[in-house]
Amino acid sequence: MSEAQPKYPLNEALEKHISESFTYHAPFGDQAERYGVIRGAAKNLALLIASNVPPCSEQGIALAKLRECVMFANAGIACCEKPLAESETISA
């Protein structure tokens, strides 16, 4: 069986985005700590939802969306944040 020929050409920007999206990004600096802070806050909200919303599909969806939110927030840290060079500083 032969491989199908691509129907849509990939441009350089899309190839770069795909490469970044499917590459492991090792945490650096305080990233791991911030992942934990986000997960902890989401866990507290999940417990609040679970203890105040009756067991139903809406509760399940709310918890799933919260999990999705945590994954995207942490992915934003992992994928969009680059280490600063030693000569760079963060200005407030």
> What tokens does 7 get?
């129907």
pLDDT in tens, 2-43: 788 889 989 999 999 999 899 999 999 999 999 999 999 999
Q: Check residues 76 and 86 and name the one with the higher pLDDT.
A: 76
pLDDT at 83: 85
Mean pLDDT of the chain: 91
- Print burial letters for 38-55: b (CB count within 10 Å at least 16), e (below 16): bbeebeeebeeeeeeeee
Distance CA 25, CA 45 (A): 27
* Percent helix, strand and coil across the chain, each to the nearest 5: 60, 0, 40
